[in-house]
Every structure is written in structure tokens, then in C-alpha cells.
Amino acid sequence: MKAVLQRVAEARVDVAGETIGAIDQGLLVLLCAERGDTDAHADKLLAKMLKLRIFSDPAGKMNLSVQDVAGGLLIVSQFTLAADLAGGNRPSFSSAAAPDDGRRLYDYFVAQARLAHPVVQTGQFAADMQVHLVNDGPVTIPMQI
């Protein structure tokens, strides 16, 4: 699984002009399931993400996790993270999980996140979404498990 984490002051996802998920301080999580990914990959990614120390402590050092600061998670599916740019100018997405597998893993990841963390919002799988955010820092971290 791949994810891009963005530390945000606030973020929201709109579909068809309506906000479907929003958080204040926390992490915007752009999430991609790839072929061969399993529930174990999702579990490992989530565990690492929740403990990643990328929020500032009182001394201004990145020493706190999203759990430490009681921040939210806004989890958005984004299969384009699987883009392969090796052959020409049009990306190939052949390494992305098939839609049914991608949805199942996304739903699993969100369910596990909700069990482990108090504030979890989401986008809508396979929808045309507009993601709005105020990137804090900016801090953007790519992850792959």
C-alpha cells in the first residue's frame, strides 16, 4: 500500500459541491492499494502512520504523533499514487489494485482507523472529489508498505 500524508491545519473533501468529510488539525491521507496488497499491509501502514512523529512539540521540534495532538484523519482513496511513468507521457496504473480489491482494502483501512483513532473522516471511493487543505508546514510524507 502507498500513502501520502499531509500535515494539515484543516482539510475537507467535497463531492458534487457538498462536503462529505472534514477535519481540523491532523493528517490528510491519500491512500492507494496496489495489486498483491493485503489486510496485513493496511494494518502495518496504519500503525506506522498513527505513531509517526511529524507534529511539533512545544519546543518546535517534530516530536509528536497525530495521536499525541488529538488530530483528525481525513482518508481519501487515490489510485493515481500507483502511476508508472516509465513508458512515455501517459501514466500506467496497472499496479493499482483492481477496483473491487481497492474498495475492500480502502474500507478495511478506514474501519481499522476508526477502531484505533477517535477522529476519522473520509472521501468517497471512486468519486470525483475536490480536496481542499491548508498544508501545515508544509509537511508532506510519502509512505509505502
Q: Which residues are catalytic?
A: 78-80
Hey, what amino acid is at 124? Q
Longest dimension (CA), the chain: 47
CB 111 within 8 A of CB 73: no
- Which residue has 500507483 as its cell numbers? 82
Q: Which residue has the cell 498544508?
A: 135
- Residue 101, classed as helix, strand or coil, is helix
Residue owning grid cell 478506514: 110
